Amino acid sequence: MGQWIQWLTGNWLQVAIPVIAFLASYVVGLWLRRVAYDAFNRWIARAKWEGSRLVVETTRRPFLHWFLLLGGYIAIYVSVLPPEWKTAGGKIVATLFILSLTWVVVRLSEKLLELSLPKLKAPPTPTTLVVNIVRVSVIVVGVLIVLDIWGAPTTPIILVLAAGLFIAGLALRDTILNLFSGAQVVWGEQIKVGDFIRLGSGETGHVTGITWRNTQIRTLEGSSVLIPNSMLARTTLTNYGHPVKEATFPLHFSTRLHLKELTGLKASNLRELVDTLKQVPDSVVYYHTHHFLEEHHYLTPEPANDFALWVSDALGNEVLGERLASIDTFDFSTMGALKERLVDVIEDYLARSPAGGTAPEGREFHFIRSRSIILPTPYVARDLREFVEVMKKITIDSIYFHVFDARLRLQKATNDFSIWIEDGLGEQELANEISRFDPYLYTLESLRAKIIQLVEKHI
């Protein structure tokens, strides 16, 4: 102990200088921290940046620690320690400073990213991914600097990291592309949840979810489709915007098929025709009027019914044939009423001309019954925009079922489309407009175009 006291007495200046340098650095650190944070707080008051509190909380204590390390570094180099000790001590202090700085940068970047990314509408998973990437990147840089301080070779490590990043980039190129495309979709707000979109590849539907990897849409068939954002960025996209008014209940589209069945009944003259017509079921009348219309859907105005054609062609009676052809099928909501009208016209003619004529052998009128099979389709409309898109896709059989068959099924002068538009959407004016026009004046394809035109004009 006495030797140490004697040495300190003789070399007190060599000890005092490092201690004074260390304490001076500490005092300067206290003063600079106060000045720096006062200036920072004044800037905060003007800028009103939300991340300022995080910066202060994260850096206030380490700021003083860095000046303590600086004081230690200065003290070591002004001391009488051997050169090799000074070098080792300087490396230790520098390492501690880099580790502290790395920790502060990691913590601060994590907090700032967690504060900022949600405001950019970034989903949770990509936010976590970005935070982890930044954290690992800062730590790797810090470790490389520490290794360089101690003279360790960093070039091989950098090459290994570069190779690893290159391999990872190749393996995850689709994921990375989807993430970048997702960022473009989310931040660019090209589409939003609820928008109705059409892709160049043919997919059509409402957007139900957007992540950084995929965009989910609900198709007109009611199924969900996940579209990679990279594909979304490369294809042509038509955005019709936010959905129009949604119906209180969806419209499920159906179609139907008809089977022909011979009844075994036939007529060779007008009297046999009218007497048999009185007895046959409504399905026979339907076949020789409405089903004939569907088979000849390309004709406009509406083709004559089978009875009118047979009277004109087989019996050569153009006058009665014209009267039968002039019966407007659209005026009758039931087959029974239509049959009565046909019978009345024929009997009225027979009352004035009892002969009526006879068909040549082999040209008799054969009565055919129609049997319907109703089939559901995958198409569903929940609003008018979906209704238009479905109308472009369904077959003419489905259009025929919802327009012509609906009148007979409902026994009203309307159709399934008008009922859904009025009851489900409350659009009475549009519903009336569709139900008012005579569908028999159109081919089924022109009828499709007419309905689409009316709805698109409305929306």
Tokens 């520098």 correspond to: 94
Kindly write down the DSSP assignment for every residue of 14-48, as one continuous string: HHHHHHHHHHHHHHHHHHHHHHHHHHHHHHHHHH-
> Which range among 116-130, 218-232, 280-294, 348-362 has the greatest average pLDDT?
348-362
Round the average pLDDT of the chain to a whole number and report it. 77
Collapsed DSSP state (helix, strand, coil) of residue 148: helix
Please answer whether residues 112 and 51 qualify as being in contact, where contact means their C-beta atoms are separated by less than 8 angstroms.
yes
* pLDDT tops 80 at residue 267: yes
> Which amino acid is located at 237 in the chain?
L
Q: Torsion angle of alpha carbons 323, 300, 420, 392, nearest 10°?
A: 160
> Which range among 216-230, 328-342, 387-401 has the greatest average pLDDT?
387-401
What average pLDDT does the segment 59-74 reach?
Answer: 78
- pLDDT more than 90, % of the chain: 7
Instruction: Report the distance separating Cα 226 and Cα 285, nearest Å.
Output: 49
Please answer whether residues 56 and 37 qualify as being in contact, where contact means their C-beta atoms are separated by less than 8 angstroms.
yes
Sign, CA dihedral 420-423-427-431, equals positive
Confidence of residue 167 (pLDDT cuts 50, 70, 90): low
- Cα→Cα distances 88→91, 129, 149, 281, 324, Å: 5, 38, 10, 110, 114
- pLDDT more than 70, % of the chain: 74
Burial of 203 (0-12, 13-18, 19+ CB in 10 A): middle
- The whole-number pLDDT of residue 364 equals 92
Cβ atoms within 10 Å, residue 299: 11
For domain 190-243, the question of CATH label 1.10.340.30 is answered with no
Confidence of residue 441 (pLDDT cuts 50, 70, 90): confident
* pLDDT tops 60 at residue 130: yes
Nearest CA-CA partner of 315 in 272, 373, 268: 268
Tokens 């009944």 correspond to: 265
Domain boundary assignment for the chain: 2-171, 190-243, 256-371, 375-458
- The whole-number pLDDT of residue 343 equals 92
**77-107 confidence digits (pLDDT tens):** 777 777 787 788 778 888 888 888 888 888 8
pTM recorded for the entire structure: 0.49
* pLDDT tops 80 at residue 232: no
What average pLDDT does the segment 236-245 reach?
Answer: 68
